[in-house]
Structure 1
Amino acid sequence: MKSRLQILCKSSNNSDQQEIPSWIGGKNNQGELWSLPIPQAIEGMKTGKWDFFINFQGKSFEVELDQDHDPPRLTTKSAGRNLFQELPDCPERK
C-alpha cells in the first residue's frame, strides 16, 4: 500500500539555498519522523511506494516528478513555485 508522507524539511550539501536538496524529511501518518535521500524518494515515487506533499500557507501541494531533468527532480509545480526553497533545513542526521 502506498504511503503518503508530508515533507517538513530539506538538507543540502552546501549553504546555497538555490541548490537542489540532497535529503528530505518529515512525518508519516502515524507521526513518526523519517528522512530519505532524494534518489531514494524519487525511486519510491516511481515504484508507487510513496506520495509526498508539502503544506504551505494552509494548503496542501502534491510533490511531483519533474521528468524534464536527468535525473528527474522533485517539484511542486501545482503551487506555481518551488516550495522546497521555503522549507527549513532538517536537523542533522545521526
Structure 2
Amino acid sequence: MKLNIVIEESDRIEMEVGGEGHTLLNLLQDSMHSHKDVKLAGYTKPHPLMDRSSLFITVKRGKDPKKALIESAGDAVARIEDFLKKFNNGVAKKRD
C-alpha cells in the first residue's frame, strides 16, 4: 500500500491510496461515517483498472482530521477482530 497526502488542512485531509481496492476503502469510509467528529468522508476510485484511489475526510470545526482517521481505522480493526472471534467460535461449535 502506498499513501500520499495530497491535501492537509486544519479540518480535512485528502490522500491518494495505491494498491488497495474497494474492500479496505469501503470499510474505512463506513468507520469514518460513524465517528462523532466527522462531517464528510469517502473515497473515489477513478477507474477499475487504476491502482489508486482518493480517500478524504472532513471533520467538525476545531477537531483533528488525523486523529479522527486514526480512531476510525482502529474501529475498523476492532470490527474485523470481533468478526473473526465470532466466526471462529461459530466454526468451533459447528465441529462439536
TM-score (norm 1): 0.30
**Bigger helix share:** 2
**Bigger strand share:** 1
- Bigger radius of gyration, 1 or 2? 2
